[in-house]
Structure 1
Amino acid sequence: MIFEDYDRFQDFLRSYPFKLPDELYQIKKKALSDHVPVIRDDTQRFMAFLMKLISPERILEIGTAVGFSALLMANFDDDLKELVTIEDYEPRIREARANFRRFDAPVTFLAGDAADILENLDGKFDFVFIDAAKGQYPEYLRLVGPLLADKAVITADNILQDGRILEPKEALERRDRTIHKRIRAYLSDIMTDESFVSTVLPVGDGLAVSAYRRKNG
């Protein structure tokens, strides 16, 4: 970390509150009370910043949960024409559908296995947000490749795994080693593929951000 006391820096940043629309805040509040993970507070701010900066017309989200992050992106993206989001966990599918009905947003909600759905999607996306099964990140990257518009941006959440990604796999519990291996594989893919310029930001639980440029020929 650049700062010796990174937690103090985060507390300082949080002293400037990031305000959500009330309906969106209520979705977040209920999700947290139900122990449904949503993107962390500083990640929310950064995602809203990206939407204002990039203004993508077409967004793909892998991992809807209850729809909070999709609705956040839609709220802050002034040029959005369609946001396609995918979820396969039935209890969250029902709640996400109910939440989407409360908003006038161009959301296309697809229920089912992300890998199967991605293989059958059409068109190109300007922005991709990956926040689903961490062990599937390399596979999701492979599948979204053909769906990327030139100069698209991919953002993947939970890359730091609360610091575990920095540890050797031998130091981890056996149950954590597969995710550790596959997230490191994802990072290797985006850092070594010349189609991407990528970085990892210590925002929330770590965001890997990749700018895509289609190869000539």
Structure 2
Amino acid sequence: MENKEVKVARNEMMDRPVVQKEVVEFLRNKQKPLRGKLGEIEREANEKRVPIIPHETVVFLNLLLGQIKPDKILEIGAAIGFSSSLMAQHVGENGHVTTIDRFDVMIEKAKKNYQLLGLTDKVTLLEGQAADILPTLTGEYDFIFMDSAKSKYYDFLPECIRLLKIGGMLVVDDVLQGGTILLPDEEIPKRTRAIHRKLTIFLDIVMNHPSLESSIVPLGDGLLMIVKKEKIEPSSLHAL
């Protein structure tokens, strides 16, 4: 089989840490590394600049999921399968991870990684647009991890909350956009202004909704943690 190289567009936010550079280096280099084949996948991805979750987020998720002990996990944005493989370590004997991606090259690489790690029975990769797939899923999921196109976070939110059990947690990656989320519209480049606006609306909704408990952790490019406290009407998750 032809060996395809994973090619990704340059992500400028990877080089715009939201905390001091020295602190980021400490978090990435001084915390316990992953062992075995998953650690090798992480190191190779970092060397090739493949956008996976940074090591400080890896360590945090390992600790968090070790305490939550979820049975059913949903991920939006599989990429090369690294984060879903990491999460699959925490679902227990009868648990399962479902992940979604639409890019052929990423899907091929993710499948190879699942085979390499012996996770083909633990992870189901759904191929296609998340907008088409999410409405077909039935819950309830204990934990949802969203790491997809930032402009889609607002669009995917009602389906994620529908699928999340009461007391479950939705974690959303890269919500601070290298700190640019703080800037007014006129200081945002026109090519990314629409993304900025939708992400701002998304944050306003989840951080102020009475049925959601939310917190932003400054790891990587910002990790938003959301707990669903009670049943929620989908219409309440749309901007007025």
Deviations 1:33-64 (A, max 9, x none): 44320001111111111111211110000000
| 1:135 is aligned to 2:151 | yes
Structure 1 alignment gaps of length 5 or more:
none
| 1:32 is aligned to 2:46 | yes
Measured in 2, the distance between the counterparts of 1:80 and 1:69 equals 19
- Find the partner of 1:46 among 60, 66, 69: 60
Indicate if the aligned counterparts of 2:166 and 2:231 stay in contact, CA closer than 8 A. no
Determine the structure 2 residue equivalent to 1:144.
160
Indicate if the aligned counterparts of 1:51 and 1:76 stay in contact, CA closer than 8 A. yes
Determine the structure 1 residue equivalent to 2:80.
66
- Give the TM-score normalised by the residue count of structure 2: 0.82
- Give the TM-score normalised by the residue count of structure 1: 0.91
| 1:17 is aligned to 2:25 | no
Indicate if the aligned counterparts of 2:28 and 2:54 stay in contact, CA closer than 8 A. no
Deviations 1:154-183 (A, max 9, x none): 100001111110111111111111111111
Measured in 2, the distance between the counterparts of 1:118 and 1:212 equals 18
Size of the aligned set, in residue pairs, is 213
Structure 2 alignment gaps of length 5 or more:
1-18, 234-240
Q: Cα distance, 1:28 vs. partner?
A: 1.9
Measured in 2, the distance between the counterparts of 1:197 and 1:102 equals 37
Indicate if the aligned counterparts of 2:54 and 2:220 stay in contact, CA closer than 8 A. yes
Identity %: 35
| SS of the residue 1:150 aligns to | strand
The answer to which of 79-88 and 156-165 deviates more is 79-88
- Find the partner of 1:122 among 138, 141, 144: 138
Measured in 2, the distance between the counterparts of 1:178 and 1:140 equals 16
Determine the structure 2 residue equivalent to 1:155.
171
Determine the structure 2 residue equivalent to 1:102.
116
Indicate if the aligned counterparts of 1:36 and 1:65 stay in contact, CA closer than 8 A. no
Measured in 2, the distance between the counterparts of 1:167 and 1:180 equals 9
Determine the structure 1 residue equivalent to 2:230.
214
Which aligned pairs between 1:72-111 and structure 2 lie closer than 5 A?
A: 72-78=86-92, 81-105=95-119, 106-111=122-127
Deviations 1:88-136 (A, max 9, x none): 0111011111111122331111111001110101221010000001100
